[in-house]
């Protein structure tokens, strides 16, 4: 009995000592959230073999069970909603968001997107899912400059202007990444760095030759703006820029991005771009040489599998393991910022639940953004349509088309409204609504019998929903109806649709025809203006697009969208697609009269500008000027106006843009109401970029123009408010 008691006591002591030792077992440094983050990252790296380090530097990162590191898919998308990951709210395509000219609204959108992204990630992790498009590192936004309307991926961007792109892009990044001082909500990515905007079919091998002036004046400012906004990631592009592959460019990646701009986040290659360096650009002779080039220029993450050759590159002496450690440190730090190695409690974003995914509030926000993205290009009184209109005829291949709602890089929704459905939801009881598909999207009907034009003859208003879809324009491999690998080398409305519109016009006689155009780029068909009584350009307006377009058609929303790109009259007015010089391109350098100018858009009300005053007419270099003016709603209904500030150096001794957007103010006014607006014009805004790529302010006169579109005779002809002009002198 005594022996049993002694044995039991000894056993209890052993268990007590064991439990105490277990309870006091030190937390590994990389799992200790109280230690400095850089120390934690280095500790984790120090526990890995070289092969394990390489396995973490590709987009499908392997799990390391012995270190409690789960596998992770770095590749996720959120261009206009969480994409390719399940049910999510689909907001208007990026080009439509740009058309709002409203950075505060886009901040709301990206905040909603990142809420959904966090909620989806939280749910996936709890179920043990760690695959592609289920992570928190979102490869959005696309801030390439939409320099040419033929580029198929242009609708992923915020348009042709560097200032607008930087403004909208900055708001998007801030909403995606949140404002917590320790944790990222999600990680945003500025892509594709740099000088990347088609042709799609040549993107893996193309060399974009660009002057220093165009590089620093047009192609880089939006990226710089996002770096200043602390974007976590930058994606290097497929192409070469001035002979260097973008994902191995010492100039772009080391000298400009890291050294000049002070970027501290991680760089990811576009998918397969490292393989292109050897296989398509023939810039290196082996995968190991490519690895060395990319590592030495601090490309942290390879979307692809080229970095599997890291151990071989080290063995060959092309790079050192310390160089690999440095690049891996910058990559893993993002995962630490996202809280992936911390306990669940301290990170506030871990509590975002699935109830936010495709919530009613987000659906209403999608509808609101779509309303504000619609651009009214013409209206002779046909709009808005009365809901009790006796007879409405809806026709056209895009009226019932789901693809024209969702664009590309989209999620999936169970509550989408086509334009036809949206219109049907507005018609009053007792009114008649008819519908016919009418015409095939890009060819003449095989059956020559035509019932639809007769319906146009009988209807009081015909709404023709025409245009192009993401099947015609998009990324290489996705736009399956494009004969040019995603690009749209013919930017006119397809001839079959134009002919159909002509037949509708003839049948309708003096009755009203409203044309609703879908698309992500310019449609260069001047004939439409003469055939339609009203024209709406609605982009790819998202899941609630049909309801939003109907809101505008029937007057429940007053259009306030503005064109973020120039609509030329013809592609013959443009330089060669492969030419990356900005001469003759966009509103900033195009001297040909446009079909519809940048910044243009009508309203159901009218606005006047008056009383422009400057705080000074003569200043010294380094001083600022304030321009104040008044906007008045002179119409009969409330509306929003987008006041735009443009600047030009009149005495520069080098090439400068015809005009440059430097300020945006969106104001809502009731009928008869006025509001005083002011723009602060800083030295940075009044500077110009010379031929060497340097920003400077020369002595002489600077012209500022304020109005509701980019300045020009065409804007005045189309009905924009009168422009206010004034000059001040830099002494």
Q: Which domains does the chain have, with CATH numbers?
A: 365-589 (3.40.50.1700), 607-730 (2.60.40.10)
Nearest one of 416, 392, 395 to 404, comparing CA atoms: 416
Residue 409 is predicted with a pLDDT of 97
pLDDT class of 5 with cuts at 50, 70, 90: very low
Output the average pLDDT for the chain: 95
Contacts of 327 (CB under 8 A, 6+ apart): 57, 295, 298, 299, 300
Residue 6 is predicted with a pLDDT of 42
Sign of CA dihedral 221, 226, 229, 230: negative
Give the separation between CA 201 and CA 669, rounded to whole angstroms.
Answer: 47
Residue 131 is predicted with a pLDDT of 86
pLDDT class of 22 with cuts at 50, 70, 90: very low
Q: Answer yes or no: is pLDDT of 234 > 50.
A: yes
pLDDT class of 274 with cuts at 50, 70, 90: very high
Q: What are phi and psi of 250, to 5 degrees?
A: -65, -35
Q: Answer yes or no: is pLDDT of 10 > 70.
A: no
Residue 648 is predicted with a pLDDT of 96
- Percentage of the chain beyond pLDDT 70 is 96
Residue 3 is predicted with a pLDDT of 45
Question: Is the separation of the CB atoms in 193 and 239 below 8 Å?
Answer: no
Contacts of 624 (CB under 8 A, 6+ apart): 680, 681, 682, 683
Question: Is the separation of the CB atoms in 626 and 652 below 8 Å?
Answer: no
User: What is the pLDDT averaged over residues 685-699?
Assistant: 94
Q: Of 270, 476, 533, 690, which one is the catalytic site residue? A: 270
| pLDDT tens for each residue of 46-83 | 999 999 999 999 999 999 999 999 999 999 999 999 99
Residue 622 is predicted with a pLDDT of 93
Region for 483 from its dihedrals, namely left if φ exceeds 0, alpha if ψ lies in -120 to 50, beta otherwise: alpha
Q: What is the DSSP letter of 186?
A: S
Q: Answer yes or no: is pLDDT of 720 > 70.
A: no
Give the separation between CA 477 and CA 484, rounded to whole angstroms.
Answer: 10
59 catalytic? Reply is no
The H-assigned helical ranges of 374-409 are 403-406
Give the separation between CA 274 and CA 286, rounded to whole angstroms.
Answer: 11
Residue 681, strand partner residues: 625
Question: Is the separation of the CB atoms in 409 and 95 below 8 Å?
Answer: no
Q: What are phi and psi of 39, to 5 degrees?
A: -65, -40
| pLDDT tens for each residue of 151-208 | 999 999 999 999 999 999 999 999 999 999 999 999 999 999 999 999 999 999 999 9
User: What is the pLDDT averaged over residues 102-128?
Assistant: 96
Q: Answer yes or no: is pLDDT of 706 > 60.
A: yes
| pLDDT tens for each residue of 426-480 | 999 999 999 999 999 999 999 988 988 999 999 999 999 999 999 999 999 999 9
Q: Answer yes or no: is pLDDT of 658 > 90.
A: yes
User: Residue 639: which H helix or E strand, with range?
Assistant: strand 639-649
Nearest one of 512, 202, 207, 136 to 350, comparing CA atoms: 136
pLDDT class of 23 with cuts at 50, 70, 90: very low
Q: Answer yes or no: is pLDDT of 347 > 70.
A: yes
Give the separation between CA 582 and CA 537, rounded to whole angstroms.
Answer: 26
270 catalytic? Reply is yes
Q: Which two tokens stand for residue 183?
A: 């944790």
Nearest one of 477, 476, 533 to 501, comparing CA atoms: 533
Residue 175 is predicted with a pLDDT of 98
Number of H helices, E strands in the chain: 22, 24
Nearest one of 569, 578, 558, 585 to 668, comparing CA atoms: 558
C-alpha triplet 624, 627, 628: angle, nearest 5°: 140
User: What is the pLDDT averaged over residues 564-591?
Assistant: 97
Residue 722 is predicted with a pLDDT of 80
Q: Give all strands (DSSP E) within 266-327, no chain letters.
A: 266-269
Residue 138, strand partner residues: 76
User: What is the pLDDT averaged over residues 343-363?
Assistant: 96
User: What is the pLDDT averaged over residues 500-512?
Assistant: 97
Residue 24 is predicted with a pLDDT of 52
| pLDDT tens for each residue of 530-547 | 999 999 999 999 999 999
Contacts of 441 (CB under 8 A, 6+ apart): 397, 398, 468, 469, 472, 481, 494, 496, 497
Region for 682 from its dihedrals, namely left if φ exceeds 0, alpha if ψ lies in -120 to 50, beta otherwise: beta
pLDDT class of 138 with cuts at 50, 70, 90: very high
Q: How many CB atoms lie within 10 A of CB 390?
A: 12
Is the bond into 192 cis (omega within 30 degrees of 0)?
yes
Residue 636 is predicted with a pLDDT of 95
Residue 698 is predicted with a pLDDT of 84
pLDDT class of 18 with cuts at 50, 70, 90: very low
Residue 336 is predicted with a pLDDT of 98
Q: Of 77, 148, 232, 473, which one is the catalytic site residue? A: 473
Contacts of 125 (CB under 8 A, 6+ apart): none
Residue 16 is predicted with a pLDDT of 42
Residue 26 is predicted with a pLDDT of 77
Give the three-class secondary structure for 550.
helix
């Amino acid at each position: 009995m005594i022996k049993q008691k002694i044995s039991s006591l000894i056993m209890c002591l052993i268990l007590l000592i064991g439990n105490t030792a277990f309870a006091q077992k030190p937390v590994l440094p990389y799992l200790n959230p109280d230690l400095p983050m850089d120390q934690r990252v280095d500790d984790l790296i120090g526990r890995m073999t070289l092969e394990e380090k390489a396995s973490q530097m590709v987009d499908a990162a392997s799990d390391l069970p012995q270190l409690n590191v789960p596998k992770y898919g770095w590749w996720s998308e959120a261009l206009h909603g969480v994409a390719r990951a399940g049910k999510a709210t689909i907001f208007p395509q990026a080009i439509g968001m740009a058309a709002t000219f409203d950075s505060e609204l886009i901040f709301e959108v990206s905040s909603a997107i990142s809420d959904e992204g966090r909620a989806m990630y939280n749910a996936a992790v709890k179920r043990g899912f760690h695959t592609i498009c289920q992570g928190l590192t979102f490869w959005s936004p696309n801030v390439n400059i939409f320099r040419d309307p033929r580029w198929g991926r242009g609708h992923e961007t915020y348009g042709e202007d560097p200032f607008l792109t930087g403004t909208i892009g900055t708001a998007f990044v801030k909403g995606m990444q949140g404002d917590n001082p320790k944790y990222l909500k999600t990680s945003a990515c500025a892509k594709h760095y740099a000088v990347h905007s088609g042709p799609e079919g040549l993107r893996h091998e193309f060399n974009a030759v660009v002057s220093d002036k165009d590089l620093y004046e047009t192609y880089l400012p939006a990226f710089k703006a996002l770096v200043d906004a602390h974007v976590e990631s930058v994606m290097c592009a497929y192409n070469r820029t001035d002979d260097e592959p973008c994902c191995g460019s010492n100039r772009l990646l080391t000298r400009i991005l890291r050294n000049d701009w002070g970027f501290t986040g991680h760089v990811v290659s576009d998918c397969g771009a490292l393989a292109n360096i050897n296989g398509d650009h023939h810039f290196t002779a082996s995968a190991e040489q490519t690895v060395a080039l990319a590592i030495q220029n601090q490309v942290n993450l390879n979307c692809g599998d080229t970095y599997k050759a890291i151990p071989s590159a080290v063995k060959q002496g092309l790079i050192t393991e310390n160089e690999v450690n440095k690049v891996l440190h910058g990559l893993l730090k993002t995962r630490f910022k996202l809280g992936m190695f911390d306990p669940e409690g301290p990170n506030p974003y871990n509590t975002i639940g699935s109830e936010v995914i495709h919530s009613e509030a987000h659906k209403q926000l999608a509808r609101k953004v779509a309303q504000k993205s619609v651009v009214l290009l013409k209206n002779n009184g046909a709009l808005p349509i009365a809901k009790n209109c006796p007879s409405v005829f809806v026709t056209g291949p895009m009226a019932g088309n789901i693809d024209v709602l969702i664009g590309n890089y989209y999620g999936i929704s169970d509550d989408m409204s086509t334009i036809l459905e949206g219109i049907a939801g507005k018609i009053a009881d007792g009114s008649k609504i008819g519908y016919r598909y009418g015409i095939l999207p890009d060819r003449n009907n095989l059956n020559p019998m035509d019932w639809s034009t007769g319906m146009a003859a009988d209807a009081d208003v015909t709404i023709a929903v025409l245009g192009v879809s993401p099947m015609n324009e998009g990324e290489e491999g996705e736009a399956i109806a494009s004969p040019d690998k995603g690009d749209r080398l013919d930017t006119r409305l397809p001839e079959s649709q134009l002919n159909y519109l002509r037949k509708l016009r003839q049948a309708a006689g003096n009755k009203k025809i409203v044309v609703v155009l879908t698309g992500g780029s310019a449609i260069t068909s001047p004939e439409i203006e003469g055939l339609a009584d009203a024209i709406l350009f609605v982009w790819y307006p998202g899941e609630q697009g049909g309801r939003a377009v109907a809101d505008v058609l029937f007057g429940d929303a007053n259009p306030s969208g503005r064109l973020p790109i120039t609509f030329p009259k013809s592609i013959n007015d443009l330089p060669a697609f492969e030419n990356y010089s900005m001469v003759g391109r966009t509103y900033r350098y195009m001297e040909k009269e446009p079909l519809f100018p940048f910044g243009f858009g009508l309203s159901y009300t009218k606005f006047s500008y008056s009383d422009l005053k400057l705080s000074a007419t003569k200043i010294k270099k380094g001083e600022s000027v304030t321009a104040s003016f008044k906007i008045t709603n002179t119409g009969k209904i409330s509306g929003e106006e987008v006041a735009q500030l443009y600047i030009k150096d009149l005495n520069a001794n080098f090439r400068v843009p015809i005009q440059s957007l430097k300020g945006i103010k969106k104001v809502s006014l009731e009928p008869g109401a006025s509001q005083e607006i002011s723009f602060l014009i800083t030295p940075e805004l009044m500077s110009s970029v010379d031929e060497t790529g340097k920003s400077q302010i020369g002595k002489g006169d600077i012209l500022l123009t304020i109005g509701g579109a980019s300045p020009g005779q065409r804007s005045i002809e189309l009905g924009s408010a009168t422009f206010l002009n004034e000059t001040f002198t830099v002494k």
